[in-house]
Amino acid sequence: MDVAPETVLMSNSEPVLPQAAAGRVGVLLVNLGTPDTADAQGLRVYLREFLSDPRVIEDQGLVWKLVLNGIILRVRPGKKAKDYLKIWNNERNESPLKTITRGQSDKLAAALADNNVVVDWAMRYGNPSMQSGFDALMAKGCDRILVVPLYPQYSAATTATVFDKAAEVMLALRAQPTLRFTPPYHVEPTYIEALAASVEAQLATLPFKPEVIVASFHGMPQKYVDKGDPYQAQCVATVEALRERLKLSDKELILTFQSRFGYDPWLQPYTDETMKRLAGEGVKRIAVLTPGFSADCLETLEEIAQENAEIFRHAGGEQFSFIPCLNDSEGGMDVIRQLVLRELQGWI
């Protein structure tokens, strides 16, 4: 009688099930997302996915769908594609966000090589998708996966939607890996120290001393915070910790919010209006950092380093310095590595 290879019958007719192979540990770095191409079609595909997420735009009713499909996806892709072209990595034909996130993944993999940890990366919107990230890790035998949302400050529109997508991927699996998620790290000592060191290093290279340093964070509708989102409070906590580390006053290091979209009130003060105000008050020299971004992207390299620099100068400012994100620098990687090692305790 033929017996299925995966089972063997013992004398008591009880099947002996195959031994499960010892699984590996995986780490999946997840950033927000980016279009695949710097043209209107690439932006249209990306924006449709991004703006159809109810975590990002909570009211996904008929009016929003008409606005999204009838106006935004017809007009905005062409305009934003021109902005992407200003910062596009032409050598790799990809956005800087994709280049940097890959670099973070590669460097983390090298740092964890002795622990036999498999590291991969994904984008919440666009490619490589979170689905492909999970598939790649599981194909390499990972039955335990640590998901690392690369957002220092938690918000439902960023961190929570990574959780949502991970759950969606898990729903389709019969054999699910065990998941962990890293928490926000907005006041982690290594993060604050890395930010402070990056500010100090940048200022040391400048031919001028900024009168004001601006910490610009991505904004969100005020009503999201009113409903209980902790994002604004965590941004404030980051800036307060950074002020203490750099020994700066609340006049020397200020907090603003950028990238507002639509007509609802967003978190204030707005970065662009602050540029105008500072210049109008006679401030001539400023530096700007973006602590809410773990990697440089359109919102930092174009919106801040180019657009807001021009706003400041046009209003009477003279010297403007953009302080890059932590990216895959030594300090930035130390933040990610220590966070991951702490959350992998008990697995490695």
Q: Which residues are annotated as a binding site for Fe(2+)?
A: 218, 299
- The span from the CA of 30 to the CA of 299, in Å, is 17
Q: Which residues are annotated as a binding site?
A: 218, 299
Backbone angles phi, psi at 13, to 5 degrees: 70, 10
Cβ contacts of 47 within 8 Å, gap of 6 or more: 72, 73, 76, 77, 80
Using alpha carbons, select from 290, 227, 228 the residue that is nearest to residue 256. 290
Sequence-separated contacts (24+) of 169-172 with Cβ below 8 Å: 169/130, 169/131, 169/134
- Encoded tokens for 118: 């498999």
- The span from the CA of 295 to the CA of 324, in Å, is 8
- The span from the CA of 207 to the CA of 185, in Å, is 33
Q: What is the 3-state secondary structure (H, E, C) of 105-131?
A: HHHHHHHCHHHCEEEEEEEEEECCEHH
